[in-house]
Structure 1
Amino acid sequence: MKKLLLIVFVALLGCRNINAQMLAVNTDALMDVMMTPSIGFELVTGERTSLGVNVLGNYKPWGKDMKMVAVQPEYRYYFSGRPMYRQFVGIGGVGASYDITWKGKVYNGSALGLGITFGYVFPITHRLNIDCHAGFGAIYYKHKEYFEKDNYDLDYSVGGVQRTNAEGYTLLPTRIGVSVTYILK
């Protein structure tokens, strides 16, 4: 997760003419409805490109035993010749930490992934956009997986240190949503 944040920070520092670029703030309305608040920033880096980062998380949505926090950086290319307008394709990453209890099983760990996103931006006003996007990618996960009634501390520890017992790769949606974007400058 720290490496992902460092990459985003270095990319933002490498943007040329940052004073004259558009900066926007957004929230993913679909995630907000699912009780996973999100906030994101998008910075125009060229005539057809932008760089963005979204942060989202939840704590016991709808009373379910779930905690999650994630960071999603993304580089977008707009086909219309104007950033933050019409169709785009993006390459993005995701880094997440989670603790989820689902159908009697506990999943506690982290995930890193890389994926591709497709979307369309609808301009509503001069400063307000609606951004519809969907993406998928490869996700690497490493977590502790056990049944709720198990004594994980004793069963999966070596020398008093807890070990993960599940790891692997899977193809999953990395971004699906409808964002409301406000252009700051």
Structure 2
Amino acid sequence: MTRTSVDDPSEPPGIVLSAATSVWLLVSTQRLFDFLRDERLRSEWDILSDGGPMQEIAHIAKGQDHGNCVSLLCANAMNSNQSSMLILQETCIDAAGSLVVYVPVDIPSMHVVMNGGDSAYVAILPSGSRGGPTSNGNADRNGGGDGSPRVGGSLLTVAFQILVNSLPSVKITVESMETVNNRISCAVQKIKDALQCES
């Protein structure tokens, strides 16, 4: 899906391309959530990590479950003096499923917000993933009425929003669509490989 963002201080101006896909994985929702929210494992699937380690530099709990929180992650933590990007992430899990939403933010914008500035004027395009059980969460290998085995798993949905052009009047290109499609396909494949599961 494409849309034009104009005169909204909470989003960068231009053409925004949104893409999402869903895949069933033979893995528990909890294991999927723990993997996706772990900043130490982020380089295994997220291009924003630049292939290096990430470090959680702020953690705000949202309830008693440690997984329900807002975090500020530093990309390429070993060279943080060269990086001007942080990742703001919110994670939560309950009986219905899990959610990991994140967005790259620049350091000056975060300094403004952390010093009491209005966060409504920080332009962001969040991306993320949702995992949810596809059964009651228990593996039932005796199968259903048709004799086929039923195994619990998770339905993983991955969604990206990308600013493909800062000029609202420009037409979107096939190359832009291919780039987003490749990015989302690559992320899903890397998640499957890291968790050693097939859809």
Structure ranking higher in strand proportion: 1
Q: Normalising by structure 2, what TM-score?
A: 0.33
Structure ranking higher in helix proportion: 2
Which structure exhibits the higher relative contact order, with contacts defined as CA atoms closer than 8 Å and separated by 6 or more residues? 2
